[in-house]
Amino acid sequence: MSLLWLKVAVLLYGVASLAVLPVALYNRPLWRHIAIPATVAAVLFHFVSLAEMLNAAHHSLPVEAHEVQSVLAILLAASFIAVYVRYRTVALGIFVLPVAFLLSVVAAFRPGQEQLLPLRTGWIFLHVTLLLAAYAALFISLLASLLYLIQERRLKSKQASLTWLPPLETTDQIALKSLLFGLPCMTGGLLVGSLVAQQTIGASYFLDPKILLAFAMWVAYCAMIFIRRHSGLRGRRAVYLSSFIFLVVLTVWAANQFSSVHRFAAP
């Protein structure tokens, strides 16, 4: 039963990882009522799983690698809850909850355990679709930022504005809203891909440089949204920032051709 409770915790960590994004990045406080309860429930299920796991192994301290990973995951999640209770901020959850999710996935779906996702092809399709949607959103954001820069330069040089382009404020909102749409897609795609990969490939999946680069891309994506929302970044600097992230995306895409483990066999 310990694995069942741990898999329930994995699901709740995934829900919390997605729900915390609108709260921290999009100023949607109502999502807090999903993120925090999901995290608390995940920690409770995780604690029960960990207690049963250690009791069945007849030791009180984590010894095996999956036990250490499980303990680290619950400590991270519990620390996030403690910070929230003390300071009423969920900002750390953007990074802490996905890490807790990944550590729990590795512990819950280690080799030799039954699989939770029998329809592997459907989950891979969802993984690819979500990531492609995120890439498309980033491209739209880059394009809108370039159009903003062109229109702004024409206005500053006293030239006639391009009538087929929307106002600068509208163009800037298109660039920002595209990023806000793409981040949940990228987060969901990486979480689903990690879950499927742990079942089909194992922990070696997370050692692949391409996968590490993909998670670095996600961190950069979060940083770009944070910078744009809190510094009012637009114009030339917004184009440079979007171009940098898009270059990282292209690098991740190209790295697929050289990845040794990021390949899924046909079901």
Higher pLDDT among residues 9 and 227, named by residue:
9
Token digits of residue 182: 């793409």
Distance CA 10, CA 15 (A): 9
Long-range contacts of 202-207 (CB under 8 A, 24+ apart): 202/110, 202/111, 203/106, 203/110, 204/261, 205/261, 205/262, 206/102, 206/106, 207/261
Q: Which residues contact 201 (CB under 8 A, 6 or more apart)?
A: 261
Distance of CA 230 to the CA centre of its chain: 20
Distance CA 55, CA 67 (A): 12
Q: Which residues contact 23 (CB under 8 A, 6 or more apart)?
A: 29, 31, 32, 35, 90, 93
pLDDT of residue 35 exceeding 90, the answer is yes
| pLDDT recorded at residue 45 | 93
Q: What percent of the chain stands above pLDDT 90?
A: 15
Mean pLDDT confidence for 248-264: 62
Closest by alpha carbon to 102, among 72, 141, 123? 72
- 186-232 pLDDT, tens digit per residue, is 888 888 887 777 776 666 666 677 777 778 888 888 877 777 776 66
Phi, psi of 16 (to 5 degrees): -65, -40
| pLDDT recorded at residue 234 | 63
Mean pLDDT confidence for 173-179: 81
Closest by alpha carbon to 9, among 130, 109, 91, 155? 109
| pLDDT recorded at residue 267 | 39
* Residue 79, amino acid: S
Distance CA 36, CA 72 (A): 19
Q: What is the mean pLDDT of the chain?
A: 78
Closest by alpha carbon to 201, among 99, 122, 105, 101? 105
